[in-house]
C-alpha cells in the first residue's frame, strides 16, 4: 500500500492539472497568507470593539472568507459555511453577542500563538461552546494562520481522506476533524519528501482524490483491483492533456502579471528611482534575465520587525528615492488574484513607518476590472481607502503611454495623469 501511495503522489505531482501544480506551487498563493492574517486581525478588532455587527454581508469576515474562496478550485465554496442562514439562525456568531465574542477570542488566540498545543486547545475551547453552525469549516481560516499545523477542510478533502485510508470521518464535527488531522499528519510525515511541511500539499492531494480527479489505490491486496486503478491513472493523464488549454490560459495570466511588473520596473528606472520587486518574484524570468535584475536586493533602512514589514516586502513593485531611500510609490498588480490582497498590503505600507515619503498608491489591473474594484471598495473593511488616495492604473493606459513617459516623463505626475482616483463611493 505504501508503494502504491508513493506512486500516486509522484504521478499527481507531475500532473499539470493537479492541485499541486495549479494551486500549491502558484506564486500568488504565498502572498495571500499575510493578507488573510491581516484581515482576521481586523475581524478580531471589530468584535472586540463591538462594531462587528449582526450580519455576515459587509463584515470583515466576509472579505477574508471571500479572498480564500477565490483561491483556485480547492477553496471554492469556502464561504458557504459562514453565510447567515436566517431560518436556521446559523452560524450563531452574528446575532448572539456572547458567541461572537467567544469566536473572536479564539481567533485572537490562534493569531497570537505559534504552537500546536495552543492551536488545538483553542479548537477544543470553541467546540466546547457548541455554537450552532460553527463547525470545522473554520479550519480553513486556521490553515492560513498555521499551515504546518492545521490542514484545510471541505467535503472533497474528507472524502479523499476516507478513500485513501478507509476511514469514516464525517462532516460537521470538530472531534472528527481533529481525528482526521492526526491521520493527515501521519500521512504527511510518511511521505514528507514528496509533499511539504505545509499541509496545503497533502490537502490538495486529498482534494483531488475526493473530487474524483484521482482514484485512491485499492485498500485490499487484489491484483485485479490494482490493474483497474492503474488504468484510472492513465485516463487521468489523458484527461490532463485535454485540460492543457485551460492551464495555458492560467499561466498566461501569471505571465501577464510578470510583464506588468517588468514594465513598472523599467519605467521606474527611467524616471530615476530605485526599484524594489516583490521578494518572491525577483527570480522570475523576464526578457533575457530575471525580473529582479538591476533592482534593490536589500531594502535600505527597512526594519524587519516593523508592523506589516513582511507584507510590504511582497508588494509587487516599489519605487524609492535614490537619495533619501524613502518609498515614493507602490504598485500592486491584480490580474487573477483577489483585489483584497493587494489593498491589504497597501494598507500595511501606508499605515506603517516606511510610508513617510509615499506619494502614490496604485492598483494596476485590466481596464475591464475597474467597476469590480469600485464595487469591492464599498465594503466596510475598505473604508479608509478614500483617505489613502489609492489610484487605479489600467493595463491599457500603461501599455499605451509607458514609452512616452520613459522618454519625456518626470516624477509621478505622468503616472497620476493616466490613472484614476479610487473611492468607495
At 183 the three-state DSSP class reads helix
Averages of pLDDT over runs of 10 residues in the chain (425 residues) are 87 89 84 83 93 87 84 84 90 94 95 92 93 92 95 94 93 93 96 96 96 86 75 67 58 70 95 92 89 89 57 86 89 72 71 66 86 74 69 91 91 92 69
Per-residue pLDDT at 343: 72
What was the pLDDT predicted at 251? 53
Residue 340: its pLDDT value, please? 66
- Tell me what pLDDT residue 284 has: 87
376: helix, strand or coil: helix
pLDDT at res. 58: 79
SS3 call for 237: helix
What pLDDT was estimated at residue 409?
Answer: 87
Distance in angstroms (rounded) separating the CA atoms of residues 37 and 32: 8
The residue count of the chain comes to: 425
Judging by beta carbons within 10 Å of its beta carbon (0-12, 13-18, 19+), is residue 295 exposed, middle or buried? middle
Instruction: Report yes or no: 327 and 318 within 8 Å, Cβ to Cβ.
Output: yes
Q: Are 101 and 45 in contact (CB under 8 A)?
A: no
3-state helix, strand, coil in the chain (%, to 5): 55, 10, 35
pTM: 0.73
Cell of 235: 485516463
The two beta strands, 285-286 and 390-394, are unpaired
Amino acid at each position: 500500500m505504501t508503494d502504491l501511495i508513493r506512486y500516486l503522489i509522484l504521478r499527481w505531482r507531475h500532473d499539470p492539472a493537479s492541485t499541486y501544480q495549479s494551486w500549491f506551487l502558484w506564486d500568488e498563493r504565498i502572498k495571500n497568507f499575510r493578507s488573510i492574517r491581516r484581515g482576521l486581525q481586523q475581524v478580531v478588532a471589530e468584535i472586540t470593539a463591538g462594531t462587528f455587527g449582526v450580519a455576515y454581508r459587509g463584515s470583515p469576515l466576509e472579505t477574508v472568507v471571500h479572498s480564500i474562496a477565490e483561491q483556485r478550485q480547492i477553496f471554492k465554496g469556502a464561504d458557504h459555511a459562514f453565510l447567515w442562514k436566517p431560518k436556521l439562525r446559523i452560524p450563531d456568531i452574528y446575532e448572539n453577542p456572547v458567541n461572537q465574542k467567544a469566536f473572536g477570542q479564539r481567533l485572537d488566540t490562534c493569531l497570537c500563538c505559534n504552537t500546536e498545543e495552543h492551536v488545538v486547545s483553542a479548537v477544543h475551547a470553541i467546540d466546547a461552546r457548541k455554537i450552532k453552525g460553527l463547525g470545522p469549516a473554520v479550519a480553513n481560516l486556521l490553515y492560513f494562520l498555521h499551515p504546518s499545523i492545521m490542514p484545510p477542510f471541505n467535503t472533497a478533502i474528507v472524502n479523499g481522506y476516507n478513500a485513501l485510508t478507509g476511514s469514516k470521518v464525517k462532516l460537521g464535527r470538530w472531534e472528527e476533524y481533529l481525528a482526521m488531522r492526526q491521520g493527515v499528519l501521519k500521512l504527511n510525515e510518511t511521505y514528507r519528501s514528496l509533499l511539504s511541511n505545509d499541509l496545503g500539499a497533502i490537502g490538495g492531494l486529498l482534494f483531488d482524490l475526493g473530487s474524483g480527479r484521482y482514484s485512491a489505490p485499492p485498500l485490499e491486496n487484489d491484483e485485479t483491483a490494482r490493474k483497474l486503478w492503474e488504468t484510472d491513472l492513465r485516463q487521468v493523464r489523458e484527461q490532463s492533456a485535454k485540460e492543457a488549454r485551460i492551464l495555458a490560459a492560467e499561466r498566461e495570466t501569471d505571465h501577464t502579471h510578470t510583464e506588468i511588473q517588468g514594465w513598472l520596473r523599467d519605467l521606474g528606472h527611467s524616471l530615476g528611482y530605485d526599484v524594489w520587486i516583490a521578494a518572491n518574484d525577483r527570480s522570475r524570468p523576464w526578457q533575457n534575465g530575471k525580473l529582479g535584475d538591476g533592482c534593490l536586493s536589500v531594502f535600505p533602512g527597512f526594519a524587519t520587525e516593523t508592523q506589516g514589514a513582511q507584507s510590504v516586502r511582497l508588494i509587487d513593485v516599489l519605487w524609492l528615492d535614490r537619495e533619501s531611500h524613502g518609498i515614493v510609490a507602490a504598485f500592486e498588480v491584480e490580474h487573477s488574484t483577489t483585489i483584497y490582497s493587494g489593498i491589504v498590503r497597501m494598507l500595511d505600507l501606508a499605515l506603517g513607518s516606511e510610508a513617510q515619503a509615499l506619494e502614490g498608491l496604485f492598483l494596476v489591473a485590466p481596464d475591464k476590472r475597474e467597476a469590480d474594484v469600485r464595487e469591492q471598495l464599498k465594503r466596510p473593511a475598505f473604508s479608509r481607502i478614500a483617505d489613502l488616495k489609492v489610484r487605479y492604473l489600467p493595463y491599457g493606459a500603461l501599455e499605451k503611454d509607458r514609452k512616452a513617459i520613459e522618454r519625456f516623463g518626470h516624477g509621478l505626475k505622468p503616472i497620476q495623469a493616466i490613472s484614476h482616483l479610487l473611492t468607495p463611493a
